[in-house]
Chains A and B, each alone.
Chain A
Amino acid sequence: MGNGTELPHNPAEPAPWISTKQGGARVKRRRVSWDQFSAVATLAPSLLLLGVFVYGFIAWTGYVSFTNWNSFIPTFSFAGWQNYISVFNTFRFQSDLRNIVVFTVLFILGCLVVGMALALLIDQRIRAESLFRSIFIFPMAISFVVTGVIWSWILNPQTGVNLILKAFGVKTLPTWFLSTTIVPNITLGQIQIGIPLALFAVLLAAVWQMSGFAMAVYLAGLRAISEDIKEAARIDGSGGWRMFWSIILPQLRSTTTTIVIILTAASLKVFGLVYAMTGPGQEFVTDMPSLNMFQTTFQGDQFAQGAAIAIVILLLMAIFIVPYLISTLRQGRAS
């Protein structure tokens, strides 16, 4: 490295990468290369760990999904698409795909609507604002497993909230997560396509837990909208709903995108909530790909099929995340 004529760097001085004002062109060039080196050196450990423990294992899972390793004993002979074909041909996995799509769409809609409503209410400069903010965001601090257990008690048809409904004279009590009804019930492949009503019980718990997060992000977004724009709109005579639809909502577009992306990721890998609350459910009305993957892999010892399910989940995730990444990159370049 150094050629001896360099200024020695002693600990009392600021580090070379901090000072940029002093020094001639020759030294500056050297400093840039030192910057690059230190950047690489700083990032290398985490890149290496990410490379091995995330991307390496994704590659490994992908490899396993094309092998015949479907028993306790590892066998790595090539199976082609066989694992994917047999997984897609099961009633259970077809149900999983239906459930995860229905769940994700309704979960995100629910969180956006509830979160926005809460944010708008809190944004009215109410008294004890921070208290309410905390109350609404607290559920997020709870583990999904705890949420699942508590809501399975609340919504248990024999013991939970139904007893209150009964006391109020409700005749036909909801069966919550025990319902096997699917609306509108169109037969496709081996399964019925539609919205399994049992999922609403799970959605109730999930939205309860995560809408506080949407609220917090929306609140930050609302506070970032400049008063000038709102003032101008007011002078132009718009208020109330008109103001919300035409001024506030368009300003919150990127906020909404952020929430949608984060919640989608949470939704596609939902496991603990369903595992603790309902399990796969009768006729797999509340089953999710992650649950299927876990049981296939660790209870059935069908490692290759489990890996195939994992890769499908990854691809589902990519469908949502990649467009977002591309658009952020474009925005980054434009600015």
Chain B
Amino acid sequence: MKLANVLKAGSALAVALSLTAASAAPAAFAAQSSDLQIFSWWTGVASSKALRSMIGVFNHEYRGVKVTNEAVAGGAGSNAKAVLASRMEAGNPPGTFQVHAGGGSLLSWVQAGDMQPLNALYQSQGWYKVFPKSLLNLLTVKGKIYAVPVDMQRGNVTWYNPGLFKKYHLAPPTTFPVFFKDAAVLKSHGVTPLALANHGNWEATLLFSDVLLGAVGPAKYDQLLTGKASWNSPGVKEAANLFNRMMSYTNSDYSALHWQQADQLVAEGKAGMNVMGDWAQGYFTTALHKKPGVGFGWAPTPGTKGTFGVVSDVFGLPSKLKDKTPTLNFLKVLGSKQGQDVFNPLKGTFSPRLDANPKLYDAYSQAAMKSFKRDRLVLVIGQGAVNPGFTNSFNNAMEIFVTNHNVSQFVSALTSAAQSNPLS
């Protein structure tokens, strides 16, 4: 009898343990070889719908392959990142996963030897001719391409209120002199010239990134972002001074605002301009029901005409993956015209393929596509494009700089951030 009790206690313990073990790693070992696991943070309403439709295109061609987004199944956001890292290290990577184009996580994985080059895939699919060469450069390490771009967003856009600009006879702020002239006029009429939101502590970084690009030009900017030039330079100081001057034209409550609220100020005519990536245009059209060109206007940020700040989601091939066929098939669909033409209009982005159909998109995206094909492409700080440690230190330096405006302190913080977090 007592023995039975002991057994009972023992088995209860075993059940408790196996329960915790089971909930910790449910799907990792359950996948069949014909299934494809992906990691993607496209879990919002529009983006998950777009992803589902992309998977639909894939399943139309490759029947019977079940695609699951493990980032959803295993918990969202930072948790997914940790799960991805541990699975990559344990030699049990997902089929493919989402990263940003550039020298952020993608470069880390490549440097760790965890990614397989895709040059053969590009060759077989004819993608060398289909994507702009300067975009492929952002995915290339030592001559090898490591990822397939799926969508395109622009990081250097000034959004403005066309009504206000017409009323006060202002020109779109494509250069710094024009920007400051516009800002002075708007201020004299009691309108906040530049709406700024910085609740997330990354929006001011985006603004500075664009100011830097406009101040030093794309060539020098590229060198800074890839660790080939020192941050302790006159160009960075000039950009910091310009940024300070712009800050004198912003609303004072930027720490309390999210980026949508800054764009709302522009749409309502309470503010003249806002600098934000073109994910803002989805907010203008969908949430605020404004028409492109009528309810909101846009221009490249001051001094960046002819340059396109790339924010692009890309997918690669983990080298430790045992069965690479499902992933390669999925990547073929991700890069295909058909897949991208279905995906991007739903997502509110546009296809980075040169042969993408402009008719699928609204007036803003059509204009952005034109610039994309013509312009020089650069990365944007703070959008997963550079070493995340550098970005975090950059955000921290920015949080101080927006208040104390101390240029030399800011520049030395950036310089040491670049030293302790290598950019290449």
Contact = CB atoms under 8 A, between A and B. Distances in A.
Interface in B76-113: 77-78, 81-82, 85, 89, 105, 108-109, 111-112
Contacts of B108: 71-73, 301
B120 interface: no
B288 interface: no
A77 interface: no
A51 to B, nearest CB: 12
A146 B77 CA distance: 20
Given A41-B6, A73-B112, A280 B201 contact: yes
Contacts of B392: 295-296, 299-300, 302
Contacts of B109: 72-73
Given A72-B85, A73-B89, 13 more contacts: A1-B6, A41-B9, A42-B9, A44-B13, A45-B12, A48-B13, A71-B108, A74-B85, A177-B255, A282-B399, A283-B399, A298-B82, A301-B108
A84 to B, nearest CB: 15
B82 to A, nearest CB: 8
Interface string B50-66: 00000000000000000
B56 to A, nearest CB: 32
Given A156-B253, A178-B253, A284-B399, A279 B199 contact: yes
Contacts of A211: none
B1 interface: yes
B54 to A, nearest CB: 26
Contacts of B404: 283
B262 to A, nearest CB: 12
Contacts of A302: 389, 392
Contacts of B16: 45, 49
A169 interface: no
A152 B20 CA distance: 38
Given A34-B2, A279-B201, A282-B403, A300 B389 contact: yes
Given A8-B1, A44-B13, A299-B391, A90 B396 contact: yes
B256 A157 contact: yes
B2 to A, nearest CB: 5
Contacts of B402: 282
B1 A9 contact: yes
Interface string B190-204: 000000000111000
Contact of A283 (B81, B82, B400): B400
A-B pairs, 9 with minimum CB distance: A300-B392, A298-B78, A41-B9, A72-B108, A282-B403, A73-B112, A301-B388, A283-B403, A45-B16
Contacts of B399: 92, 280-284
B393 interface: yes
Contacts of A246: none
Interface centre among B2, B105, B402 (most CB of A within 10 A): B2
Contacts of A301: 105, 108, 388-389
Nearest to A297: B78
6 contacts: A9-B1, A71-B387, A91-B396, A283-B404, A284-B400, A294-B78
Interface in A68-91: 70-74, 86, 90-91
A61 interface: no
B219 interface: no
Interface string B222-252: 0000000000000000000000000000011
B255 A278 contact: yes
B3 interface: yes
A332 interface: no
Contacts of B6: 1, 37, 41
